[in-house]
Amino acid sequence: MSPEQPTAAPPNAPANPVQAMLEAPLSLRERKKLKTRQTIRREAYRLIAEQGYENTTVEQIAAAAEVSPSTFFRYFATKDDLVLTDEYDPVMITALLARPADEPFLTSCREALIGLIRELLQHEREELLTRMRLVTEVPSLRAGLHRGGNSPQELFLVALTRRAGVEEPTFDMRITAAAIGAATTETVLQWAAAEGEQDIATLVDHTFAVLESGFAGV
Amino acid sequence: MSPEQPTAAPPNAPANPVQAMLEAPLSLRERKKLKTRQTIRREAYRLIAEQGYENTTVEQIAAAAEVSPSTFFRYFATKDDLVLTDEYDPVMITALLARPADEPFLTSCREALIGLIRELLQHEREELLTRMRLVTEVPSLRAGLHRGGNSPQELFLVALTRRAGVEEPTFDMRITAAAIGAATTETVLQWAAAEGEQDIATLVDHTFAVLESGFAGV
DNA sequence: CCATCTTTTGAGAGTTACTGTCATTTGATA
DNA sequence: TATCAAATGACAGTAACTCTCAAAAGATGG
């Protein structure tokens, strides 16, 4: 019924996950869907840049993308999802699970994060900046960041649970994922707030140093 | 225009902040406002318990509380605020700032938290449990937890900034507040998920031990 | 007690995000 | 070319808000 998200890259996919997804052979139907999705997003970002997020209605976006409002909601469950969803969570989880299991989890996170972000910056730097700026500025988006499923917090929790090979996460895992996820989010937002002028790897390193130190500095 | 929140307890208020707020001399107008606010909340919780959160409309709540929908929104900016807002943030900040300035921030947080929670449990244990259960279950509430102003994250950030005596929080303060705030939230939710049967002081202690250790265990 | 000013309230109209249904179109398949 | 499944659009409906304005009720000074 609803259009599928692009599937996660398999473990043996090419090094660049973004390219990997784009290179996959697609049927006409799938190409059209992808195109529609991209058109909606593109037109949405254009209108939002012109008028602001709150002043841009779903109806306007749908009209600009030449689809009906119904169709808009078939591609994005909510207006917020335009900005909040991306397709990198599975990639990040894969990257996390690819790290040695006996490595401290903080180290795994730092390395996986830096790797993924570097990749993203090469291809979608501007879009990422725009998105993060919107998230910072629009309250409903800021809130939505922590909604079920696609928050960094959930992501780290899944990785931790799987790595431990258990079904249900423990309390320790929950608080760990929560803390690391929140700190990570804050770091990316900080980077966007500085217009991307600070080196994000340095910021991430710094964040994880603070986490590792047990917040000794404050 | 909009009804005022009960003001923060002054530094030299009685030990129990809840009582302190209730003991303040109130004009007839203020008493009515407080009563209206309490009635709305009480009727709302009653209806929500019967029908669930999503199935309970603002119109129903307003009718049950015998006010107009307009008035509902004068008392609660959003339906979510019924569950998400409380009046303890200023109390917590005061408690945090009352700790010695050279104490590690983590210690200050742990002690202030345990103190406040113990206080709350004596008077509003059931309501707190209900609220936290709702927050866990209803997605929009879970998201709203992190919205501007009344999240633990914001609260810790304000405390950190004031304690350092500066205007703008540093990057370190941001990630620290984010991590501690998220871990704290998770802890309280865990307590509620276990129906309040675990000792919350023990849970909090455990959480802060994990934070202090630099996540050495995972 | 009365007159006046201010705050609070209710009524009503309007906007917008979202849901659900159903008939039509369009790509896939044999 | 005929058939089936997926995608779309039109439409009606719901509910959370927002705004405006006039009426009601408490505060205040005489």
What's the gap between Cα B21 and its chain centre? Answer: 15
Res. B155: pLDDT tops 90: yes
Position B21 scores a pLDDT of 44
pLDDT of residue A8: 37
Contact B164, A209 (CB under 8 A): no
Q: Is residue A8 part of a domain?
A: no
Full residue range of the structural domain in which residue B68 is found: 24-82
What is the spatial distance between Cα A109 and Cα A99, in angstroms, rounded to a whole number? 9
Same domain, B93 and B154: yes
Residue A67 belongs to domain with CATH number: 1.10.10.60
**What average pLDDT score do residues B47-73 get?**
97
- Check pLDDT > 90 for residue B56: yes
B194 and B215 fall within a common domain: yes
- Cα separation of the two ends of chain A: 52
> What is the distance in angstroms measured between the alpha-carbon CA of A70 and the sugar C1' of C23?
15
Domain at A213, CATH number: 1.10.357.10
* Number of domains within chain A: 2
Interface test mutation site (partner A, options B153, B162, B168, B171, max chain A beta carbons within 10 A)? B171
Q: What are B87-129's pLDDT values in tens digits? A: 888 899 999 999 999 999 999 999 999 999 999 999 889 889 9
Mean pLDDT across B148-156:
85
Name the domain boundary from B41, B63, B82. Answer: B82
Strand D nucleotides within a 7 Å radius of protein CB atoms: 6-11, 15-20, 26-28
Q: What pLDDT does residue B25 have? A: 63
Q: Are residues A172 and A108 in the same domain?
A: yes
Q: Please tell me whether residues B209 and B146 are part of one structural domain.
A: yes
Question: Is residue A5 in some structural domain?
Answer: no
Distance set, CA B62 to CA A57, B17, B68, B164 (Å): 29, 29, 6, 44
With a cut of 60, say whether residue B68 has pLDDT above it: yes
Q: Walk along chain A (218 residues) in steps of 10 and give the mean pLDDT of each run.
A: 40 43 67 95 96 96 97 97 90 94 95 94 90 91 81 93 95 97 95 90 97 94
The answer to whether A115 and A17 are in contact (CB under 8 A) is: no
In 3-state terms chain B splits into helix, strand, coil percentages (rounded to 5) of: 65, 0, 35
- What per-residue confidence (pLDDT) applies to A25? 64
Residue at which a domain ends, from B56, B82, B108? B82
Residue A176 · residue A156 · CB < 8 Å: yes
Is the Cα dihedral A102, A103, A109, A113 positive or negative?
A: negative
Q: Does the pTM exceed 0.85?
A: yes
